[in-house]
Amino acid sequence: MKILHVVNSLDPGGMENGVVNLTRGLEARGFISHVACLERRGAFSARLPASSQVFLLGKSGGFSPRAAWRLARLISRIKPDVIHSHNLGPLIYSGLATLGGRRCPLVQGEHSQLTKEEFLPRRLRQRRWLYRGCHTIHTVSTAMREELIQCGFPAQKIVAIANGVDTTRFTPSDRLAARQSFSVPADSLCIGIVGRFGPFKQHIQLIDAFEQIVPNFPHARLLIAGGGGSQEAAVTERVRQSTFRPLIHLLGYQSDPVACYQALDLLAIPSINEGLSNAALEAMACGVPALARSGCGHEQIITHGEDGWIAPLETTDDLARELTEILSEPVRLVDFGRNARKKVTSKFSLESMITAYEHLYRAAALR
Which residue ranges make up each domain of the chain?
Answer: 2-164+349-365, 175-347
The band of 23, judged by pLDDT with boundaries at 50, 70 and 90, is very high
CATH code of 175-347, in short, is 3.40.50.2000
pLDDT tens for 205-255 read: 999 999 999 999 999 999 999 988 899 999 999 999 999 999 999 999 998
* pTM, full prediction: 0.92
A 10 A CB-CB count for 315 gives: 12
**Do 175-347 and 2-164+349-365 have the same topology in CATH?**
yes
The band of 367, judged by pLDDT with boundaries at 50, 70 and 90, is confident
The band of 305, judged by pLDDT with boundaries at 50, 70 and 90, is very high
Q: What's residue 194's pLDDT?
A: 96
The band of 188, judged by pLDDT with boundaries at 50, 70 and 90, is very high
Q: CA–CA distance from 307 to each of 53, 106, 258 (Å)? A: 40, 37, 19
Work out the mean pLDDT of the chain and round it to a whole number.
95
pLDDT tens for 145-186 read: 999 999 999 999 999 999 999 999 999 999 999 999 999 999
| Region of poorest pLDDT, from 113-117, 285-289, 351-355 | 113-117
Percent of the chain predicted with pLDDT > 90: 92
Q: What's residue 297's pLDDT?
A: 82
Q: What's residue 132's pLDDT?
A: 96
H or E segment and range at residue 252: strand 248-252
pLDDT tens for 332-350 read: 999 999 999 999 999 999 9
A 10 A CB-CB count for 117 gives: 8
Q: What's residue 351's pLDDT?
A: 96
Q: For residues 242, 245, 248 and 249, what is the CA-based torsion angle, rounded to 10 degrees?
A: 130
Cα–Cα dist 228/111, whole Å:
18
Percent of the chain predicted with pLDDT > 70: 100
Residue 15 predicted with pLDDT over 90: yes
Cα–Cα dist 222/190, whole Å:
6
Q: Are strands 158-160 and 136-139 parallel, antiparallel or unpaired?
A: parallel
Residue 104 predicted with pLDDT over 90: yes
Q: What's residue 60's pLDDT?
A: 87
CATH code of 2-164+349-365, in short, is 3.40.50.2000
Instruction: Please provide the size of the chain in residues.
Output: 367
Cα–Cα dist 320/270, whole Å:
11
Residue 126 predicted with pLDDT over 90: yes
**Cβ 199 vs Cβ 169: under 8 Å:** no
